[in-house]
Structure 1
Amino acid sequence: MTKTYVITGGTDGIGAAVARALFRRGDHAVVIGTNPKKAEPLLREAADSPGSAAFVPADLSLVADTRRTVGELLEAYPKIDGLVMCARFFRTYRAVTSDGFEDNFALFYLSRALFSYGLLGAFEKADGAVVVNVAGPGHDTPIDWDDLQSARNYDGVRAMFMTGRLNDLLGVTFAERHGKSGRIKYVLFHPGTTSTGFVGEFDPPTAAYIEQQKALAKPATAVVPPILQLLDDPPKEPLSAFNMYDELSVRSRLFSPASAARLADITAELLEPDAT
């Protein structure tokens, strides 16, 4: 039976590799991305595959565009079997969106919160939905609660890691609120060093380092099998975390329910009136 999966950041790297694997095996992959030209090869390949694919253009760094996209998905797909969130964009220098949010915070965290909660109704109609948040769980970067959007002493690497911590806490709250029925599983996933699209805006030293990493990193296709395994046979617990195939504990201080509740309150205030 064909299943429907939504992939954010689905035209590059891990997202595109997952989309290909899904439609090649007969499922429907809904690819979210900013560039229609990048989606064209995927759509052509899907047309000759057992499954199918669709492309939805969106700038997920913008809250309004993310909300619009979620609404369109709910209208087009009343039942969604899985969500794989890969979209992120590294910036050496701090940038602020037209919504007034720091770009990394908006794309890497707020959009994932809006997708996770916004598609809830479609998840509940599936026969066991799975949300895979590709965000690098378990990193011990401290959260600066007074500066979640890195306005002071911005560092691109630290901002990315701290926002990954916020995704860990997003998973904690989502599982507490919606995991008790056992119908929706939330999985935090760390792909390790992978040769993805490495999209971003880099200063020269960072760009040189990225090129070195590309040469040493594993291909995006190597990350697909563990993600498919999680989609097809998710853990029994409402929340889990993995580094590739290795399960990580979600019982440590890094996944504190109190911190997760604190973040949920802050997020609700930021996203009013349509708070999560």
Structure 2
Amino acid sequence: MKNIVVTGGTSGIGLALARICRDRGDNVLVIAPDPAKGERFIEESENKGAGKRVFFIPADLSLVGENERVIDEIGDTFTTVDALVLCARFFRSYRRVTAEGFEHNFALYYLSRFLLSHGLVEPMRRAGAAAILNVAGPGVAAGRIHWDDLELEHGYNGWEAMFQGGKLNNLLGVSWAAAHGGQGVGYVLQFPGGTRTGLAGEFDPETAAQVEQMKQGATKSAEDSAGPLVDVIDNPPAEPLTALWEDRPISLDDGSFDAEDAARLHRLTEKLLSRR
């Protein structure tokens, strides 16, 4: 029996993974912003006789303060964490700033994963052999990092924000492994492939049509996409950092995993967080 934490765990791939782990006997804690969806997952689990092994934390992970609260609540629930699965993401065609002053996509897709990855090191280290699964797009060719405008204040574009988020998470994996590698926790950047559930988000008409076309062209269900994630949970890699496209390894020699860029991003992130 493992202790599994899943962000974005009430819809899409996150929900599919949470159900698989629950149904096989694991303890599962899901984090998502909608209390109604969380309550439905809890009720479903109780109907299956798994209510005592399933937990829900409602939280808006685009807020730094909410991430800090969630880290504390996870620690109150689990003394050890075998897998942290980071699925929460929300596409926005139009730029939005959170109540704490951060661009929403940057805050949810990158800052939250930074905070949770670093904040849960201790309970994961205690688990012995654990894995952080950052469900993103490692090694993607599209997009670039806007070093002088990380929050895309000038010329925001939803696709650019998403692609940059993938690049930022690549570097997060590199800097996390440099700081915490060798403690029995493997950091895994994993793209599950195109899935029929598509992207969650608020779209302009053109983007909505693109997303619908992507969903129609996808061949895999959320359950299919969750399968490779379960494999990693069951067999955490010994390496400090691994990048996978579905279940196929990606070379870390790619420029997306540059160590100097990773260190630079880490410093910038700490500076941004210090302003709060």
TM-score (norm 2): 0.95
Contact between 2:198 and 2:211, CA under 8 Å: does it hold in 1?
no
Contact between 1:12 and 1:197, CA under 8 Å: does it hold in 2?
no
2:167 counterpart letter in structure 1: R
Aligned pairs (5 A) from 1:255-266: 255-266=257-268
In structure 1, distance between residues paired with 2:240 and 2:121: 14
* CA deviation profile, 1:68-125 (whole Å, cap 9, x unmatched): 1111111221211110000010000000001100000000000000000111111111
In structure 2, distance between residues paired with 1:253 and 1:19: 33
In structure 2, distance between residues paired with 1:64 and 1:236: 32
1:237 counterpart letter in structure 2: E
Runs of 4+ that moved beyond 3 A: none
Q: Which runs of 5+ in 1 are unaligned?
A: none
In structure 2, distance between residues paired with 1:25 and 1:165: 34
Aligned pairs (5 A) from 1:156-195: 156-181=158-183, 183-195=184-196
- What is the RMSD of the two structures over their aligned residues, measured on CA atoms? 1.5
Q: Cα distance 1:230–1:73, how it changes in 2: closer, same or farther (>3 A)? A: same
Shift of 1:236: 2.4
In structure 2, distance between residues paired with 1:16 and 1:28: 14
% identical aligned pairs: 46
1:29 equivalent in structure 2: 28
In structure 1, distance between residues paired with 2:248 and 2:43: 35
* CA deviation profile, 1:197-237 (whole Å, cap 9, x unmatched): 62211011111222222222121111111001011112221
Aligned pairs (5 A) from 1:119-268: 119-140=120-141, 141-181=143-183, 183-196=184-197, 198-217=199-218, 218-268=220-270
Contact between 1:170 and 1:260, CA under 8 Å: does it hold in 2?
yes
In structure 2, distance between residues paired with 1:52 and 1:257: 39
Shift of 1:40: 2.9
* CA deviation profile, 1:222-253 (whole Å, cap 9, x unmatched): 11110010111122211001011111011221
2:18 equivalent in structure 1: 19
In structure 1, distance between residues paired with 2:80 and 2:122: 8
Shift of 1:49: 4.8
* CA deviation profile, 1:17-73 (whole Å, cap 9, x unmatched): 000000000001100001111123322232215682111000001111111111111
Shift of 1:269: 1.0
In structure 2, distance between residues paired with 1:258 and 1:69: 30
In structure 1, distance between residues paired with 2:275 and 2:92: 29
2:254 counterpart letter in structure 1: S
Contact between 2:171 and 2:262, CA under 8 Å: does it hold in 1?
yes
Q: Which runs of 5+ in 2 are unaligned?
A: none
* CA deviation profile, 1:168-196 (whole Å, cap 9, x unmatched): 00000111111123x00000001121122
Moved more, 140-149 or 35-44: 35-44
SS of alignment partner, residue 99 of structure 1: coil
SS of alignment partner, residue 25 of structure 2: coil
